[in-house]
Structure 1
Amino acid sequence: MNKSVTKILTVFLLFLFIQNEAAAQNGVVRGIVSDRQTGDALVMATVSIQPLPDGDIKGTATDNNGHFQISRIEQGRYEFLVRYIGYTTFRDTIEVTQEDQILLRNVQLRPSSEELGEVNVYDRAKANNAGQIRIQPETIGRAPTPGGSADFVSYIQNQPGVLATGDRGGQLFVRGGTPAGNLVLMDGSLIYQPFHIVGFFSVFPEEVVSSADFYAGGFGAEYSGRSSAVMDIRLKNGNLYETGWAASVSPFISDLFFETPIKEGKSSVLVSMRGSVIEATSGQYLQEQQPLRFNSQLVKYNSVSKEGLGCSALMMRTYDRGKLDFESDQYFKWSNFVTGGRCSVASEESSLSFMEMNFGLSHFNNEAGGQEADTRKSSIFKSNLDIQFAHYLGLIRLDYGLFTNFRTVNYDLVNRFISLDENETSFLTTGAFLEFEIPVGQYVSFKPGVVGTSYLNRLNPKLEPRMRVSLDFSEEFGTSLHGAAGIYYQHLIGLSDFRDAGTAFTAWMLSPDEDRILKTTHYLLGIRQSITRHLEVSVEGFHKKIENTPISIWNPVAEFTTDLAYADGNVNGVDARIDFTTPNFYTAIGYGYSITEYETSQDHFLEWYGEPVQRYHPSHDRRHQLNAQLGFDVEAFSFNLNWIYGSGMPYTRPMGFDSFFNLEEGIPQVKDDYGNPRILLDKPFQGRLPDFHRLDVSVERLFQLQKADMKLQLGAINSYDQQNLFYYDVFYQRGINQLPIVPYFALKFSSK
């Protein structure tokens, strides 16, 4: 670690532990707000105090851990209120009797349909940061999914700025970034590939999701190691008092969910298992068999205490295998194994307001092969230990933490990339982050932060400064403004061959060139406007500057073997969304516009094209994307509709054909032999594939039986049978289509 980084971290650590007299507080009340039945943290719950018999109200909202703190409370008696939509309001009286007194109030709220009233779920899902979407379980079911349970990935694909390459492959691109630039966390543990090979499903069915934060860019200092987007999923805890279960089946997938208390009110366990059946059923009712298979298993243990200490442990395994091109013998296969644990506590005795510790192990393995091609393999193992703290200096909140990661990467690319054949590397990283939340007056909040990472002499250490700002006038005018800027380095790259779009193989490796580390700089500016209680409009513009992103060297002759090159680029765009929500009806329209452009210099460009530098739009540059959702409930029926449109993505056009002779095989007989045919390619990605659009619909009927509930779902994927291209094969010059119209039914039984 160089001297400048050492000095900065030293000053940072000294600053944390030196008490500043100017920041001395009066009384403080802090704690954690959670669901009484499960112990799940309740995010954005409203906590307030009011002097008795009357006086001005002071309040705050809980963070992602359900934690809150109200500072500078003068001596006296106060009414203490905690509110959360869908839960019974908690009321109590607290008394501050001396200066610097710390009161700990951990609150468990009881669910109550009577408190729901005229609920707009966006009251629970409002996010106050640039680039952020907060996702609640209620909203996941708005995207029709051909299974008994709604799925996180089906919902997230319908957000502006999120691009899925098709209905198979499990790849998501966010605002011009690649799938390898996405950080996916579940209860703080990293999972490398949570999306199944059938694009409607992931390891996150609605039963296991408590809440999630999706950052399309501009994420804060607590997240590091990725350059594009963050999906931070908090898993549900098992019920602490009652046993529950659910089982479902459809032509695509079967699901089983089970939860039960271990020690009533104190600990519980949750189990979720999923397995595909489409490979077996597709031959019976579709035009062709779908050679796609996947399964996943999740177990989570949870314990809580009245003192505010909560601990959990999880274990997950996934497996995916299939062909993206059904006519080819090439297959893709991957698996995940994740285990980890976390503990968090709000303390009455400590000067620290909140502390969390997280430990995890994650292993990912993937391969691609076939009868006519050697098998490419890649695997990565990661162990991590993270400690995070929340500390208050007066009204200023300080979040900081330390992290240590050990990784082993292994890959064998069988000459796909000439300079990257086979390798195994182990390395250790350490670092720290720091972020302030500084309120300025009643409406403005600044969140400056920084991340420092050291690769212990393998690569140069990096500092990543970041800034987020928000102006909240929602109480007066229903308006909130937000912005963000920051630098994001990614030392660990996921290399894919995107010369054609039909790939699901990623080789993880430490950046081969320490002087060319992938770097993106994010700039975001947006506005949210509540027109009425039920109608909200949001618009956000963004710019990303990309440096040193790894790409394939482009050869004007179609060849399977290539080498590694680097490109710089820019992404510019705007995402807009209109939401109208009532208890029994919702509709949403989202539009995303973006331009992704790369610039690269390669030796042969001058020879072939007369220019040493080429600018092009990569294969994931979708210029326009439009999403429309509609849903309503009528008695026991629920109807959901989702329509998505995307403009055509780039591909490389053939420029012509010729033939060649391999002189190593001997002198050719040119009169009788025409040689080996080959394709000559135009400049990279100059063509555009046809536009994509699809309509998915579903109708559900709930039957309340004597001992269980039964839900029957009827629906159709691609209901007007649009022929959508999945990808265009560069080497064989043929297109592979996505699914045709697929009617389906799903049957789900669940405990009352």
Structure 2
Amino acid sequence: MLAPAQTRARYTVSGYVRSGTDRSVLPGASVAVPALGTGVTADSTGLYSLVLPAGRHQLVISFIGYQSQTRDLNLTRTQRLSFSLPESANELGEVTVVGSGTLEQKLQTPQMSVERLTTKEARLLPALFGEVDLLKTLQLKPGVQNGGEGTSGLFVRGGSADQNLFLLDETVVYNPSHLFGLFSVFNPDAVQSVDLYKGGFPAQYGGRLSSVVDVKLREGDPQKYSVSGGLGLISSRLTVEGPIVKDKGSFIVSGRRTYFDVFTRQINKLNENTKGYDPIPDYYFYDFNAKANYKLGAKDQLFLTGYYGRDVFGFNSTNGFNFDFTWGNRVGALRWNHVFSPKLFVNTTVSATRYQYGIANKLDQFSFSLSSDIQDYALRTDFEYAPNDRHVFKAGATATSHRFGVGRLQAGSSDGSLNIGSDVTYQGQEASLYASDNFKATDKLQLEYGLRLTSFRSGTDIFGGVEPRASARYSLSSTTSLKASYAQMYQYVHLVTNSGASLPTDIWYPSRLNVKPQRSQQVATGVSFLLGQGKYLLTNEVYYKWARNQVDFRDGAQLFVNSDLDAEFLFGKGWAYGNELYLEKKQGRTTGWIGYTLAWTQRNFQPQRGTTGVNNGKDFFPTYDRRHNLTVVVLHQLSPRINLTGSFVYTSGAPTTLPGGRFLLQDIFGDNLDAVPIYPDRNTYRLAPYHRFDLGLVYKLKPRRGESDLTFSIYNAYNRRNPYFVYFDQVRDEQTDQITSYRARQVSLFPVIPSMTYNFKF
């Protein structure tokens, strides 16, 4: 007769959870033993490790959008056991964009303020121009604000756009946007999953203040070759994947390109002889993803990741003025995964990343170019050790070498009479060390706590920080949990942007001299309820964040090619607080969620360095402050082949600065009257509220070979003219032609936009 569970020998069962369709890993999949009330979630590589008492157990393996699997296990020794989950036959009606794993997992984990997406889920939602975008899907979550009409920038819990850490297979991506911010650089065909952390950050993440967006690429099918892609309104995609050696290694190669330029060039060609015709600027973007993996043995596996993307904007006028504007990312990473034992494994990653930005123009015989870039080389290692079913220890270190090309200027004439140049470059070294423990103290109380040590050196300037992290979950009952978290973060690199420029100016700048690291602290607490026999999850989170050494710039700052850029910075403090209410449903023919955020974000920059600061040292709301944010997403299965989706978004208007009046100024002769605007405090006005309703329909076709579907979407279905910016028009007297008043005019970007995309796989 077996002894009681607590005195029995204990063994570890571990392995991978993969998709039965293409053998890709399923990070966040659940492996549970309901009879013991225990279970684990697979990590980002699909690996799980579970310590159980000896004896017979029934394992339940599940992942959203896949059929759950039950496996009987007679555990008499430590062993490896992997699982392949088949896709749900009712897949359109089964999936929705939810947090990591099932609703029960989300209730029980100590981690709060985290969301997980997969491409399969995001494809069901309506999209602008039919182009699925993962960052825009994240904007439908509570606590995540969009930057306004037509942007994909994330503003998370009061943080600015540069305070988000974007990782692609453990490698930093500095600019995640295409098309001036309308789309992200993450090709949905190549992405396996996206994790968004809004708070309670695990100790392995650092370097930014507001959020972490951790993107994992697919590994490719190790058993058979396939080709997939899509034809859309503005772009096309193509993906090829298959085995390198069957069941031992695989690859995936994916690319996409827009074709605005194909049409605009033809239009320009047809009108090149038309008098007074202004050519349409040339614009396109493309990106390329590749990933390969190979098993060296039972305990070792290599992963190679590559990304290259580029945006190209060009203008060639009839008067000899030529203008070119380009930007893009390059990423490469090599990761080695080694399993020492079922309880201990390590990932080691060597990576390189580079972001480049450049402007070049030419007028007759004179040429001018301006550029900036940032380049990193990094080494990272992460250990995970699970000695028993109560502890999971993680530890690791990262070292990064930065090279900041703050500004390069080259100007000259074709005859050689003028040739000038300037180059401002800095070096920086960043290092971190972390350790954490996920501790199941009792059946009701689970803790995750850790410490991260960071340092940064630029020249002779050295900075350092201690970043404690902690989160806790206490189960009041099987359907109710209380959660709380705390995190301190440091940010050593800063994005210098000139919002007043007609084109964005992206310069990454290191902490040095007078430019101190940005720092934040965030506390959050919440309660979660499972309702309707587990069909619904209701969560309510309250957060407060303090930020120090926030960056702004003095009026008239010279941002490009400035060897003393430190003198242009102003530093202040900020704070943000709010309440996020979230209800989600994932079972039945109708799924979806409702999210509502009530939030405040403020900044303060006191007078400094001979300036009046910002807003004369008074508190002000930044442009991304939004008081109310409501999102409603509904996915309904009309039939096994047809899925109907809809989303509604409402946000308060963005703060802006508009003149409160004007006074007349005339010369000494009483002529030449000029109306000079009088500006009040910064951002005292708000634009009109933003709201939009989108509709989508996915129709699954029945080709003779492979699979395909048609995706229809209507963006801004009721044609709401949302504000992009406001300007003032002169109102003149019809008889005297004198200015009598000024009238505010609103500029909007997108009316109702229908689109269709054909997706295929064979």
Give the TM-score range, shorter chain: 0.7 to 0.9
Query: 1:597 aligns to what?
Result: 602
Query: 2:403 aligns to what?
Result: 408
How far apart, CA to CA, are the structure 2 residues paired with 1:477 and 1:259? 43
Closer, same or farther in 2 for the Cα pair 1:632/1:608, shift >3 Å? closer
How far apart, CA to CA, are the structure 2 residues paired with 1:697 and 1:616? 37
How far apart, CA to CA, are the structure 1 residues paired with 2:300 and 2:81? 10
Query: 2:392 aligns to what?
Result: 397
Of residues 377-386 and 313-322 in structure 1, the stretch that sits farther from structure 2 once superposed is 313-322
How far apart, CA to CA, are the structure 1 residues paired with 2:165 and 2:729? 32
How far apart, CA to CA, are the structure 1 residues paired with 2:145 and 2:472? 27
Output the amino acid matched with 1:241: Q
Q: Secondary structure at the match of 2:463?
A: coil
How far apart, CA to CA, are the structure 1 residues paired with 2:658 and 2:117? 40
Closer, same or farther in 2 for the Cα pair 1:403/1:231, shift >3 Å? same
Query: 1:340 aligns to what?
Result: 333
- Displacement of 1:331: 7.9
Of residues 261-270 and 447-456 in structure 1, the stretch that sits farther from structure 2 once superposed is 447-456
- Displacement of 1:693: 1.3
Query: 1:21 aligns to what?
Result: none
How far apart, CA to CA, are the structure 2 residues paired with 1:336 and 1:730? 38
Q: Deviation per CA, 1:475-494, whole angstroms, max 9, x where unpaired?
A: x4322222111211101111
How far apart, CA to CA, are the structure 2 residues paired with 1:96 and 1:195? 52
- Displacement of 1:699: 2.0
Of residues 572-581 and 734-743 in structure 1, the stretch that sits farther from structure 2 once superposed is 734-743
Output the amino acid matched with 1:89: Q
Closer, same or farther in 2 for the Cα pair 1:677/1:294, shift >3 Å? farther
How far apart, CA to CA, are the structure 2 residues paired with 1:224 and 1:317? 24
Query: 1:63 aligns to what?
Result: 43
How far apart, CA to CA, are the structure 1 residues paired with 2:595 and 2:148? 19
Instruction: Find the partner of 2:373 among 364, 371, 379.
Output: 379
Query: 1:357 aligns to what?
Result: 348
Output the amino acid matched with 1:383: Y
Instruction: Find the partner of 2:140 among 144, 158, 162.
Output: 158
Query: 2:4 aligns to what?
Result: none
The answer to whether 1:43 aligns with 2:20 is no
How far apart, CA to CA, are the structure 2 residues paired with 1:369 and 1:729? 29
How far apart, CA to CA, are the structure 2 residues paired with 1:69 and 1:84? 15
- Displacement of 1:28: 3.1
Closer, same or farther in 2 for the Cα pair 1:174/1:713, shift >3 Å? same
Output the amino acid matched with 1:60: V
- Displacement of 1:503: 6.1
Instruction: Find the partner of 2:576 among 571, 578, 590.
Output: 571
Q: Secondary structure at the match of 1:459?
A: strand
Query: 1:622 aligns to what?
Result: 626
- Displacement of 1:553: 2.3
Of residues 533-542 and 331-340 in structure 1, the stretch that sits farther from structure 2 once superposed is 331-340
Closer, same or farther in 2 for the Cα pair 1:218/1:404, shift >3 Å? same
Query: 2:592 aligns to what?
Result: 587
How far apart, CA to CA, are the structure 1 residues paired with 2:156 and 2:42? 28
How far apart, CA to CA, are the structure 2 residues paired with 1:681 and 1:58? 61
- Displacement of 1:227: 0.7
Q: Secondary structure at the match of 2:724?
A: strand
Q: Deviation per CA, 1:511-536, whole angstroms, max 9, x where unpaired?
A: 24457321111111122212123222
Q: Secondary structure at the match of 2:603?
A: strand
- Displacement of 1:425: 0.8
How far apart, CA to CA, are the structure 2 residues paired with 1:219 and 1:491? 17
Closer, same or farther in 2 for the Cα pair 1:408/1:115, shift >3 Å? same
- Displacement of 1:596: 0.6
- Displacement of 1:200: 5.4
How far apart, CA to CA, are the structure 2 residues paired with 1:27 and 1:620? 52
Query: 2:759 aligns to what?
Result: 748
Alpha-carbon RMSD across the aligned residues, in angstroms, is 3.9
Contact 1:26 1:71 in 2 (8 A): no
The answer to whether 1:647 aligns with 2:667 is no
Gaps of 5+ in 2: 1-6, 268-278, 316-320, 410-421, 731-743
Closer, same or farther in 2 for the Cα pair 1:504/1:641, shift >3 Å? farther
- Displacement of 1:675: 9.9
Instruction: Find the partner of 1:466 among 466, 469, 483.
Output: 469
Closer, same or farther in 2 for the Cα pair 1:305/1:165, shift >3 Å? same
Q: Secondary structure at the match of 2:637?
A: strand
Query: 1:538 aligns to what?
Result: 539
Contact 1:592 1:626 in 2 (8 A): yes
Query: 2:198 aligns to what?
Result: 216
- Displacement of 1:583: 4.5
- Displacement of 1:657: 5.5
Query: 1:516 aligns to what?
Result: 516
Q: Secondary structure at the match of 1:377?
A: strand
How far apart, CA to CA, are the structure 2 residues paired with 1:511 and 1:331? 31
Contact 1:250 1:747 in 2 (8 A): yes
Q: Secondary structure at the match of 1:380?
A: strand
- Displacement of 1:34: 2.5
Closer, same or farther in 2 for the Cα pair 1:638/1:80, shift >3 Å? closer
TM-score, length of structure 1 as denominator length: 0.82
Query: 1:15 aligns to what?
Result: none
Contact 1:106 1:307 in 2 (8 A): no
Query: 2:506 aligns to what?
Result: 506
Query: 2:62 aligns to what?
Result: 84
Output the amino acid matched with 2:80: R
How far apart, CA to CA, are the structure 2 residues paired with 1:243 and 1:109? 18
The equivalences for 1:282-301 within 5 A come to 292-301=283-292
Query: 1:525 aligns to what?
Result: 525
Closer, same or farther in 2 for the Cα pair 1:311/1:514, shift >3 Å? farther
Instruction: Find the partner of 2:12 among 17, 29, 40.
Output: 29
Output the amino acid matched with 2:382: Q
- Displacement of 1:62: 2.9
Closer, same or farther in 2 for the Cα pair 1:120/1:625, shift >3 Å? same
Query: 2:80 aligns to what?
Result: 105
Contact 2:129 2:754 in 1 (8 A): no
The equivalences for 1:419-430 within 5 A come to 423-430=424-431
Contact 2:229 2:237 in 1 (8 A): yes
Of residues 104-113 and 712-721 in structure 1, the stretch that sits farther from structure 2 once superposed is 104-113
- Displacement of 1:80: 6.3
Closer, same or farther in 2 for the Cα pair 1:468/1:291, shift >3 Å? farther
Q: Deviation per CA, 1:366-414, whole angstroms, max 9, x where unpaired?
A: 2467789986532100111111111245532211001111110112298
Q: Secondary structure at the match of 1:711?
A: strand
How far apart, CA to CA, are the structure 2 residues paired with 1:392 and 1:711? 43
Contact 1:67 1:346 in 2 (8 A): no
Closer, same or farther in 2 for the Cα pair 1:390/1:33, shift >3 Å? same
TM-score, length of structure 2 as denominator length: 0.81
Q: Secondary structure at the match of 2:750?
A: coil
Gaps of 5+ in 1: 1-23, 98-102, 415-420, 662-668
Q: Secondary structure at the match of 1:260?
A: strand
- Displacement of 1:598: 0.7
The equivalences for 1:430-449 within 5 A come to 430-449=431-450
What is the identity percentage for the equivalent residue pairs of Structure 1 and Structure 2? Answer: 19
Q: Deviation per CA, 1:654-712, whole angstroms, max 9, x where unpaired?
A: 25557999xxxxxxx95498599865533211111111111221223221111243322
Instruction: Find the partner of 1:633 among 620, 633, 637.
Output: 637
Of residues 631-640 and 618-627 in structure 1, the stretch that sits farther from structure 2 once superposed is 631-640
Query: 1:684 aligns to what?
Result: 682
The equivalences for 1:651-666 within 5 A come to 651-655=656-660
Q: Secondary structure at the match of 1:570?
A: strand
Contact 2:515 2:569 in 1 (8 A): no
Q: Secondary structure at the match of 2:688?
A: coil
Output the amino acid matched with 1:628: V
How far apart, CA to CA, are the structure 2 residues paired with 1:607 and 1:71? 61
Contact 1:279 1:291 in 2 (8 A): yes
Query: 1:313 aligns to what?
Result: 304
Closer, same or farther in 2 for the Cα pair 1:198/1:159, shift >3 Å? farther
Instruction: Find the partner of 1:228 among 194, 205, 210.
Output: 210
Q: Deviation per CA, 1:625-670, whole angstroms, max 9, x where unpaired?
A: 1111122122222211111111111111225557999xxxxxxx95
Closer, same or farther in 2 for the Cα pair 1:503/1:446, shift >3 Å? farther
- Displacement of 1:106: 4.0
Q: Deviation per CA, 1:1-33, whole angstroms, max 9, x where unpaired?
A: xxxxxxxxxxxxxxxxxxxxxxx9954314232
Closer, same or farther in 2 for the Cα pair 1:603/1:303, shift >3 Å? closer
